[in-house]
Amino acid sequence: AQRVTQPEKLLSVFKGAPVELKCNYSYSGSPELFWYVQYSRQRLQLLLRHISRESIKGFTADLNKGETSFHLKKPFAQEEDSAMYYCALGGSARQLTFGSGTQLTVLP
């Protein structure tokens, strides 16, 4: 069965500090991992997907198959990064299994 775990419901950091949002997954096949972000009163939008290996808004995420992790990182957090972040795992039918989400607050 597919499962995504985000252990932190809430995470607060100060502006300029590094931030890491944790995500672990369980999947028997070859995983496809995503990070979605939801800013206040906005729709869910894609931030990153592991196959593109991009850096979006300064965020990066590396798939670690050995640790079954896909942690999201940013070296210097900004106040506008405050949002709800969801890690998601793509299935064989391209459906998504979401983690429970982490609410990131970047303090001034």
By beta-carbon proximity to another protein, the closer residue of 64 and 95 is 95
SS (H, E, C) 22-75: CCEEECCCCCEEEEEEECCCCCCEEEEECCCCCCECCEEECCECCCCECCEEEC
Q: How far is CA 34 from CA 22, 43, 73, in A?
A: 13, 16, 13
By beta-carbon proximity to another protein, the closer residue of 15 and 56 is 56
By beta-carbon proximity to another protein, the closer residue of 44 and 107 is 44
In the complex, which residues of this chain contact another protein (CB under 8 A)? 34, 36, 42-46, 49, 86, 93-101
The tokens describing 78, both together, are 């900004």
Least gap, CB of 94 to another protein (angstroms)? 6
Least gap, CB of 51 to another protein (angstroms)? 9
Least gap, CB of 96 to another protein (angstroms)? 6
